[in-house]
Every structure is written in structure tokens, then in C-alpha cells.
Amino acid sequence: MNYYEVNFDGLVGPTHNYAGLSYGNVASKANAKKFSNPKQAALQGLGKMFALSQLGLHQGVLAPNARPDLKTLRSLGFAGSDKQVIVKAAQVEPQLLKACYSASSMWTANAATISPSCDTQDNKVHFTPANLSNKLHRAIEADTTARILQSVFHDEAFFVHHSPLPQHPLFGDEGAANHTRLADSYNHAGLAVFVYGQDNRSEVRPTKFPARQTRQASEAVARSHMLNPDNCLFIQQNPNVIDQGVFHNDVIAIGNENVFLFHEQAFYEQQAAVKHIRDAYKGSRPLHLIEVSEADVSVEDAVQSYIFNSQLVSLPNGGMAIIAPSECQKVDSVESYLSALKQASTPINEVIYLDVKQSMQNGGGPACLRLRVVLSEQELKASNQSCLLDETLYHTLCLWVEKHYRDQLSEYDLADPQLLTESYTALDELSQILALGSVYDFQRV
Ligand SMILES: N=C(N)NCCC[C@H](NC(=O)CCC(=O)O)C(=O)O
């Protein structure tokens, strides 16, 4: 049976804006209050999806959460008509309104953790939506994301959906951004490498910025997904790099099949961590552990360029390509490193630069924008076909964006109730294009 990696990218929602909501994420803070361009952001994201599909890869689309999140605002005591809720929140709690307007569900690497059927004891694909409990604007994503995932992967013969972990600091879970699967190929059982920022039983933790993922959360996900404990590793992120802006492991490491590329400061007690990975890997092909030295690329350059937030994809005709953000071309050390890497004797032989600047300015590179789902041919057929990107869907979605999205948004626009109407109208239409059913709260009342 053939298995494929399908990248499900998050479609950027109509309210994409820069609100400075993510303490510990350098770009989010640096670009707070900048004017955003939601139309350009969505088209850049669609451009990336189309580019990957043109490489012959399977590409999916995940719908965004609906924003503003009126349900949350109402639960916090803002009452009256929808318009009144917005106007009142804008006056009294503008920060809260920003959280409820964030388009952050676009970063679907944080939507969930997925275990493919070749890794699980019941041979089904398991999904746990991330609770994203560290940030309010992200914690409110979990319920709708769960509904969207259920609508895309609805066949119970193949797919198991777990509830998000409890919303508590003990179980902070940021999904696939802290989970890498290493395997001979997608057809094989893999080693699930869970990377956490904090173990609640240990004092080793960052001192400046928050560690968003806990070991306890990763362990709970591995248990629910019925993974073989011999095929799971729990490794701690280096707390010093979290304090330098590496708020998820996918900002400092990237893996695909039998290749793992990571910075020399990525992990706590790195030598031992790398040995654990080498020892636990059960594949028969060579495992390529590529460690990038501080001398070649500093942590600062890594955070600025997002080199490790590239996608590493297997090409249909063999070899792998790095899909890097175009910011990598502007940082000399990174560009030199990448051009040397494709000549070196590793499976990586191509580097493709793509422009996702609108997302990058909020700390989301190419890898943040996609959720990897390894599916067998049968499981792929059992998924919602309207969410799989082909040329027709790409053009339909571009037209949909052109029709509904603004090309400029500032924090002041969030107080305008017209934006709510525009956003919900667009998403209502989108849920029909993607055949999702009534996944949004505003469709369910
Ligand atoms: N690394 C991965 N996988 N994902 C990146 C997520 C970026 C996101 N940014 C934001 O939420 C910024 C929103 C704002 O400030 O407007 C975050 O910090 O959670």
C-alpha cells in the first residue's frame, strides 16, 4: 500500500492582522501595529500551496477559524447584538478584541498532532487538536479546529479524533510544531520525536520567554494515539534558545523521512539527545542527522531568516527539496549554508524560495503554515476531496479571496462591525466551496 505525506495548509483568514499578541515570538512583537494586507497574505499562502502541488505533491487546504470570535466575547460578558458586542469590546477591552480577531489558525502546524496509521496500534490515523493554552488568541482555536478536522477526515473506519488536552498549564500543547516523525519512508512505521519546552517535574526551563509545550502534554498525546512506546522519544528543547525567540521546535529543527536537520543548540544536553535519536531509529536506510553549527548559522540568524521553518519535502522522482522563506536569501550566512547543503552528500538536493512575508511578519514561515498528514492511498480517498488542491480549486480560492478580502487592515479597523459581516460572509461561502458543512459557530445558532 502506498502512503503519501499530504500537506494541509491553513488558508489565511480575512482578518489577518498584526496585533503583537505572542510574547516570546520576536516577529509578532516587532511588527505589532503594522498595517497588514489580508488579501496578499491569503494569495501568498495559496501560491505556496499551488507551487507544492505543481511539484507533484499532494496538497490539502484547511479552512480558517471564524473571526471575530463572538462566542468568546459573549462568554466574557459583552452582550447585545453582534455589532454592540464589537463596539463595546473595542471601547472597553481592545486587547481582548484583538485576540478574538486574530487569524492565527492559519498556522496549521499548531492545529493538531497527527499519528499515521502505520504507527498506531489500531492502524487508524489519530488526531489531537492542540489546546494552544499558552496564548488566549490561540487557545480559542481548538474547538473549531477540531470540527474542521472532523469534517475533512470524517470516516470513522480510518480516522480517530481525540479531544484537545485540558486547558491547563500542565498540558500546554502546540501540536505538530513540536513533533517530528523519522522513518525510512512514509510507508514505514516511524520514530515519533516529541520535543517539549518544559517538564513540569523539572527546574530546567527558560527564564525569559514561556515554554509553550510540556512533556506531560506530549506524553498524553502519545498515549492516546496508541503509539508503541519503543517508537517514541521525548526530548527537551534548549531553554536558552526559547529565550532567544525559538518558541516552537520547528523554528530550530526540521525532519522528513530519514533526514533530520537541526541547529547545534536546538536541544538540551544535545549530544545525549542526538544519541537517543540515533539509537531509537529502527529504519534500515541510513539516518541523516545534519547538525548546523553556530559558526555556520547563528541562532539569531536562524530566528531572523526562519531557515529551520522551511518545509523539507520528498520529491516524487527522488531526492528532497527545502521550501524556504525568501527571507533566507537576505541573510548571508543562511543563503551560503543552503547553497552548500544542496551540493553536500545528503538526500537534500534542491532549495526553492517562496514569498510568505505577510505570515512571516507574525512569526509564521512555510512550515508553520502546513499540517503534515501521512495517509495511505485508501485514507486519502476517504478524506474530504473538496479540500484537496488542484488547479481548479486553486483558481476558485484565488477568486474567492479577490472577492472578499481587504488589502489593508489596521487595529482601528477591528472596531468596525462591517468587518465582521465581511468575514462571516466570506467564510460561509468558503465552507460551501470546501464542502465542510456547518463548522462555524455563526452557522450553528
Ligand atoms: N512555529 C509555528 N509552527 N507556528 C508559528 C505561529 C506564529 C503565531 N503568531 C501569532 O500568533 C502572532 C499573532 C499576532 O501577534 O498578531 C504564534 O506565535 O503562535
pLDDT in tens, 374-396: 999 999 999 999 999 999 999 99
Q: What is the pLDDT of residue 220?
A: 98
Cross-strand partners of 313: 321
Exposed, middle or buried by CB within 10 Å (0-12, 13-18, 19+), for 196? Answer: buried
DSSP assignment of 22-46:
-TT-HHHHHTTTPPB-HHHHHHHHH
Through-space distance between the first and last CA atoms of the chain, rounded to whole angstroms: 43
Annotated catalytic residue within 368, 379, 387, 404: 368
User: Is 410 assigned to a binding site?
Assistant: no
Instruction: Look up 154 and say whether it is catalytic.
Output: no
How many Cβ atoms sit within 10 Å of the Cβ of residue 164?
Answer: 21
For residue 271, the 8-state DSSP code is H
How many Cβ atoms sit within 10 Å of the Cβ of residue 33?
Answer: 10
Residue 331: which pLDDT band, with cuts at 50, 70 and 90?
Answer: very high
Pairwise CA distance, residues 440 & 143, whole Å: 10
Residue 1: which pLDDT band, with cuts at 50, 70 and 90?
Answer: confident
User: Under the phi-then-psi rule, with left for phi > 0, alpha for psi from -120 to 50, and beta for the rest, what region is 413?
Assistant: alpha
Count of H helices and E strands in the chain? 17, 15
> What mean pLDDT do residues 170-199 have?
97
Residue 434, CA distances (Å) to 2, 46, 384, 397, 425 in order: 25, 14, 8, 10, 15
Q: What is the pLDDT of residue 445?
A: 72
Residue with cell 469590546: 89
Instruction: Look up 174 and say whether it is catalytic.
Output: yes
- Strands, E, within 168-252: which ranges? 179-182, 191-196, 232-236
> What mean pLDDT do residues 265-270 have?
98
The rounded Å distance from CA 104 to ligand 1 centre is: 6
Q: What is the pLDDT of residue 211?
A: 98
Residue with the nearest Cα to atom 4 of ligand 1?
A: 368
User: Is 31 assigned to a binding site?
Assistant: no
Summarised one tens digit per residue, pLDDT across range 112-152 is 999 999 999 999 999 999 999 999 999 999 999 999 999 99
User: Is 21 assigned to a binding site?
Assistant: yes
Q: Does the pLDDT at position 5 exceed 80?
A: yes
Pairwise CA distance, residues 270 & 252, whole Å: 13
User: Under the phi-then-psi rule, with left for phi > 0, alpha for psi from -120 to 50, and beta for the rest, what region is 437?
Assistant: left
The rounded Å distance from CA 180 to ligand 1 centre is: 19
Instruction: Look up 58 and say whether it is catalytic.
Output: no
**Atom of ligand 1 at shortest distance to CA of 110?**
3
Q: φ and ψ at 298, to 5 degrees?
A: -75, 160
Residue 380, CA distances (Å) to 4, 103, 125, 157, 432 in order: 8, 27, 11, 13, 20
Exposed, middle or buried by CB within 10 Å (0-12, 13-18, 19+), for 280? Answer: middle
Q: What is the pLDDT of residue 326?
A: 98
Given a contact cutoff of 8 angstroms between Cβ atoms, the answer to whether 304 and 251 are in contact is: no
Pairwise CA distance, residues 233 & 254, whole Å: 16
The rounded Å distance from CA 360 to ligand 1 centre is: 9
Given a contact cutoff of 8 angstroms between Cβ atoms, the answer to whether 246 and 237 are in contact is: yes
Query: Which of 28, 35, 237, 308, when mutated, tests ligand 1's pocket best, judged by the most ligand atoms within 8 Å of its CB?
Result: 28
Given a contact cutoff of 8 angstroms between Cβ atoms, the answer to whether 150 and 143 are in contact is: no
Pairwise CA distance, residues 308 & 106, whole Å: 19
Q: Does the pLDDT at position 187 exceed 80?
A: yes
DSSP assignment of 110-155:
GTEEEE-TTTBTTSSEEEEE---TTSHHHHTTHHHHHHHHHHHS--
Q: Does the pLDDT at position 252 exceed 90?
A: yes
Pairwise CA distance, residues 33 & 17, whole Å: 8
Annotated catalytic residue within 174, 257, 379, 411: 174
Q: Does the pLDDT at position 257 exceed 80?
A: yes
Residue 1: closest CA among 286, 381, 287, 385: 381
Given a contact cutoff of 8 angstroms between Cβ atoms, the answer to whether 178 and 248 are in contact is: yes
In degrees, to the nearest 5, what angle opens at C-alpha 345 toward C-alphas 339 and 346? 85
The rounded Å distance from CA 362 to ligand 1 centre is: 6
Per the structure block, which three cell numbers stand in for 37? 494586507
Given a contact cutoff of 8 angstroms between Cβ atoms, the answer to whether 310 and 366 are in contact is: yes
pTM of the predicted model as reported, rounded to 2 decimal places: 0.98
User: Is 212 assigned to a binding site?
Assistant: yes
Pairwise CA distance, residues 147 & 79, whole Å: 26
The rounded Å distance from CA 122 to ligand 1 centre is: 34
Which pairing describes strands 179-182 and 191-196: parallel, antiparallel, or unpaired?
antiparallel
Summarised one tens digit per residue, pLDDT across range 32-56 is 999 999 999 999 999 999 999 999 9
Residue 195: closest CA among 231, 166, 232, 229: 232
Pocket of ligand 1 (CB under 6 A): 18-22, 25, 28, 102, 104, 107, 109-110, 138, 177, 248, 250-251, 362-364, 368
**Atom of ligand 1 at shortest distance to CA of 132?**
19
